[in-house]
Structure 1
Amino acid sequence: MFIIMYIRFKHIDSGETKDVKMGFSWPTLFFGFLNPLFKGDIKWAIIMFVLTIATFGVAWLFFPFVYNLFYMSSLLRKGFIAYDENGYPIDRLNKNNKVNEVNKVTQ
């Protein structure tokens, strides 16, 4: 039996929330660069498109294993905070977040 784990990300200013699945990305396997494009992750959509063309499709098989990790990293850089299923911040993911640096200065 497989356990599917999602991490909820909440933006510190706008309150926008996004749920991101950990691990393998099935939508990326089936839809390739369209998955990040639909999520608004333009940077990775372009990178995936270019690398898929340059490697004659081999990169298409690589990205499903790593895209969710790349997407989570980009959300953290944009000011989102990671929370677990109980609503507590995940310190291990948030430790390198720019928002934590600001909070340390203001305290």
Structure 2
Amino acid sequence: MAKYLLLIYGNEQIWDRLSEQERKDLDAGHAAFAAAAGDAILAGGALLPTAMATSLRGGPTPTDGPFLETKEALGGYYLLEAPDLDAALALAERLPEVSAAHGGVEIRPMREAS
């Protein structure tokens, strides 16, 4: 089985403005994804806002904030184990951010350790 990292992106300003019901709907979408994926999920989590990030670039001196200025920020991830990319895609399509106007999901195969 191969491993795939699902990277969940979205607009932090829109996330900050979500109503309580919209947050509940988003959480319900992730619960439905987790139920469908079952044991295929090896790990996952939500990230704090990019304002809390620290970056290393061009040397060992850390700087505050995200590495790049972008409209969409990495907000969370799931690490999946799936038989192939098609299976990983079928699961990833269930994430609510796939259909959100302000976000998306990137599916990246993990390199096998040698």
TM-score normalised by the chain length of structure 2:
0.28
Q: Which has the higher contact order (CA 8 A, sep 6+)?
A: 2
Q: Which has the higher helix share?
A: 1
Q: Which has the higher strand share?
A: 2
TM-score normalised by the chain length of structure 1:
0.29
